[in-house]
Structure 1
Amino acid sequence: MRKIWRHLLVLVLLLGAFVYLNNTSLLASRPDKAPTLLAHRGIAQRFDTAGLQNDTCTAERILPPAHEFLENTIPSMRASFDAGADIVEIDVHPTTDEQFAVFHDWTLDCRTDGTGVTRVHSMAELKKLDIGHGYTADGGKTFPFRGKGIGLMPSLDEVLAAFPDRRFLINVKSRDPEEGAKLATVLKNLPEQRRAKLMVYGGDEPVATLRNQLPEVRTVSRESLKACLIRYIAYGWTGIVPAACHNMAVLVPINVAPWLWGWPDRFLNRMEAAGSEVFLLGPYDGGGFSTGVDTPDEIRRIPAGYSGGIWTNEIEMAARELKAGTR
């Protein structure tokens, strides 16, 4: 009996040694490069996040404006890239004239002088709207952007033409699988090298449809991310990357990341070898997707030498802090 226990102890020790050696970043190397910065919504008006619900009109609770930019506009995107963004996240909706409008909200009533569901309008109709109409920082006493946003809602074609060499993360704002098929059609018409600079995320159904038609485009949805991370936590210690993690944008909350096998360098290397790109998010609080890495304190939580992606709502701050070497 003692002999059996000795053998079991040896096996446990050997397994422990294997797991450690196979997952420690002390024995892994990464290219010495700066993190990839993803600007969520580009440079946008910040708003009070207390008590937010899915239907909260954030334009009605902006903080006193510190700049002139409105999210999902070409000037905002240009300013984001100039500030240090490598990728800008944009939101899209199909229009009745077979285009995609770049705009955040499901309906027009909050931000614009229009009404109704965004996707039941033509691009020509949407171009006539003032997308700065509803922004107020003082409960409706003043509207600092009213009249300044007429014609600023771009189409996806306009965005891609304005930034032919830039990377974008395209957010599909519905759960309609047909929307994924429509977006796939648009992306199929792009040159391969242009398509390689685009990623797509959003509802499970449209993302799955697009992924089926364009498997080379990196995608992510809530369910696909859950499938990836659960499987990786279960057996990633072996060094095997689950098929669910291949060719996707892997979004990892900064407080979850240290629990992933091989974090940071081995994990990044494994995901890169699987055709995927990792982006750190802000802390996950159990209620859904986390926010971005949006404060200097959160920047300091990033491991020294980290060379993956960082998702932020504060691109200017993130670029400044990283450049200053405060991690």
Structure 2
Amino acid sequence: MGRKVRFAAAALIAVATGVYLNNTSLLAPHRDGKPVLLAHRGMAQRFDERDVKNDTCTATRMLPPVHDYLENTLRSMRASFEAGADVVELDVHPTTDGEFAVFHDWTLDCRTDGQGVTRAQSMAKLKKLDIGYGYTADGGKTFPFRGKGIGMMPTLAEVFAAFPDKKLLINVKSRDASEGEKLAGVLNALPVARRRAIMVYGGDEPIAEVRRLTPDVRTISRAAIRSCLIRYIGYGWTGLVPAACHNAMVLVPVNVAPWLWGWPDRFLGRMTGANSAVFVLGPYSGGEFSTGIDTPELFARLPRGYSGGIWTNEIEAIATIAGKSKD
């Protein structure tokens, strides 16, 4: 019995040692360099995020503005890149006249002087709206951007033309598979090198279509995020990378990251080998995957020398902390 116990113990130690050596970052190559910064919504007006739901009008919850940039505008995107962003995120909706409008909300009523569902409008009509109309930081007493956002809603084509060599993340706001098919057609019309600098995320159905029709574009959806991370936590110790983590934008909440086998360097290396890009988000608590690394305290939770991606709503502040500010 004693010999069997010793053998079992030795085998267990050998397995544990193998798992450790296969996953420790101490033996993994470290990728030098500064982190890759993703500006969520570009330079945007911040708002009170407490108890925000999908249908909350965030423009009426605006915090006192510290700049005059409005999200999803060419001006905002340009300022984000100038502040140190490597990637800028933008939201799209198809229009009735064959374009993709770059705008966040499902409806127009919150931010603009228009009404109705965004995707039910023509781009010609959307171009006439004031996208700064609804912003207020004092309960509707004043509207500091009213009249200043007329004609500022761009098309996706205009974004591509304005930033021909910049990395972009496109957010598909619907669950409509046909929207993914249409976006794939737009992406496939781009040169290969340009297409590979673009990532797409959003609803499961349209993203499945983009992934099927444009296999060289990195994608992620809510279901794919969960599948990737849960499966990797389950068997990533073997070195195998789940299919959902391949050719993907891998979003990692900062409080989930320590549970990932080989975090950070071994994990980053495996994802690079799967042609995927990793971006760390703010803490996940069962809600939306949309909080960012927005404060010095959250940035401090990243590993020393971390050179992967960071998702942030505060590009100016985080670029300065990360040493990427261009001022």
Shorter chain as denominator, the TM-score bin is over 0.9
Paired position in structure 2 for 1:291 = 291
Contact 1:23–1:237 at 8 Å: present in 2 too? yes
Paired position in structure 2 for 1:120 = 120
Per-residue Cα deviation, 1:304-325 (whole angstroms, up to 9, x for no partner)? 1111000000000000111199
Contact 2:278–2:308 at 8 Å: present in 1 too? yes
Secondary structure of the residue aligned to 1:261 is coil
Per-residue Cα deviation, 1:277-300 (whole angstroms, up to 9, x for no partner)? 000001112223250001011111
Contact 2:136–2:143 at 8 Å: present in 1 too? yes
Per-residue Cα deviation, 1:13-53 (whole angstroms, up to 9, x for no partner)? 00100111111111111221110000000000011111211
Instruction: Indicate whether 1:97 and 2:89 are aligned.
Output: no
Residue 191 of structure 1 deviates from its aligned partner by 0.5
Which structure 2 residues correspond to residues 44-123 of structure 1 after superposition, within 5 A? Answer: 44-123=44-123
TM-score (norm 2): 0.98
Residue 192 of structure 1 deviates from its aligned partner by 0.5
Paired position in structure 1 for 2:10 = 10
Instruction: Indicate whether 1:166 and 2:156 are aligned.
Output: no
Query: 2:308 is aligned with what amino acid?
Result: G
Contact 1:90–1:169 at 8 Å: present in 2 too? yes
Instruction: Indicate whether 1:34 and 2:34 are aligned.
Output: yes
2: CA distance between counterparts of 1:107 and 1:314? Answer: 25
Per-residue Cα deviation, 1:70-121 (whole angstroms, up to 9, x for no partner)? 0000000000000000000000000001110000000000000000000011
Paired position in structure 1 for 2:177 = 177
Query: 2:119 is aligned with what amino acid?
Result: R
1: CA distance between counterparts of 2:134 and 2:288? Answer: 27
2: CA distance between counterparts of 1:8 and 1:245? Answer: 35
- Range with bigger deviation, 22-31 or 62-71: 22-31
- Range with bigger deviation, 27-36 or 82-91: 27-36
TM-score (norm 1): 0.98
Aligned length: 325
Secondary structure of the residue aligned to 2:255 is coil
Residue 229 of structure 1 deviates from its aligned partner by 1.0
Per-residue Cα deviation, 1:157-188 (whole angstroms, up to 9, x for no partner)? 00010000000000000000000000000001
Paired position in structure 1 for 2:191 = 191
Contact 1:283–1:290 at 8 Å: present in 2 too? no
2: CA distance between counterparts of 1:230 and 1:5? Answer: 34
Structure 1: runs of 5 or more not aligned: none
Secondary structure of the residue aligned to 2:234 is helix
Secondary structure of the residue aligned to 1:220 is strand
Contact 2:95–2:101 at 8 Å: present in 1 too? yes
Structure 2: runs of 5 or more not aligned: none
1: CA distance between counterparts of 2:168 and 2:133? Answer: 26
2: CA distance between counterparts of 1:263 and 1:185? Answer: 36
2: CA distance between counterparts of 1:76 and 1:134? Answer: 18
Taking only the aligned residue pairs, the percentage that are identical comes to 68
Secondary structure of the residue aligned to 1:292 is coil
2: CA distance between counterparts of 1:117 and 1:190? Answer: 28
2: CA distance between counterparts of 1:185 and 1:290? Answer: 27
